[in-house]
Amino acid sequence: MALSVGMKAGAVLIFTGVVAPLVGLGLKRVTGGWDSYGGGAFAILRDSPARKGAAPQSTDPAIQAAEVRQMLEAKAERRKVRGEPALDVGAESARLLAAAAEGFPAGHDEELRTEVRQLVVARNERRLRAGLEPLDVEVETERQLAELDC
């Protein structure tokens, strides 16, 4: 005897409403759910990213110097290809490593300070157009530079 359409619809509803969620919960319990999804022998799940505000890992100074020199040589090569003035890799490397040894935040380069100041001036112009009171440019520049140091 053939099942009626109403019984077929009821069976589908019971399956999707009761059986499917129970199967899902069972599979989650057995496999660990989404936490293990994508895991395996070659997964990167075990490597946790560095937390914001965590102390940076110490780096071997020789490795750091080699990497800085390598990046500066690449930068010098790009400048040469573009026809810009040559970059003294040795002097620039020494300057950057000395700044890093000093703790870098105190030694913001002047280009960064100028760029942040320009952004603050532009923000002040928008604030004035909006009818708000302007910010103190120097104080706001220092505040934003201090934010970058965090």
For residue 106, the model assigns a pLDDT of 46
Residue pointed to by tokens 């619809």: 9
Distance CA 74, CA 76 (A): 5
Over residues 85-96, the pLDDT tens digits come to: 988 999 999 888
| DSSP string across 31-55 | H-GGGGTT-STT--TTSPPPPTTPP
Q: For tokens 């490593």, what's the residue?
A: 97
- Asked if 135 contacts 124 with a C-beta cutoff of 8 angstroms, the reply is yes
Give mean pLDDT, residues 19-34. Answer: 80
Show the beta-strand stretches assigned E in 28-128. none
Query: Is the whole-model pTM more than 0.85?
Result: no
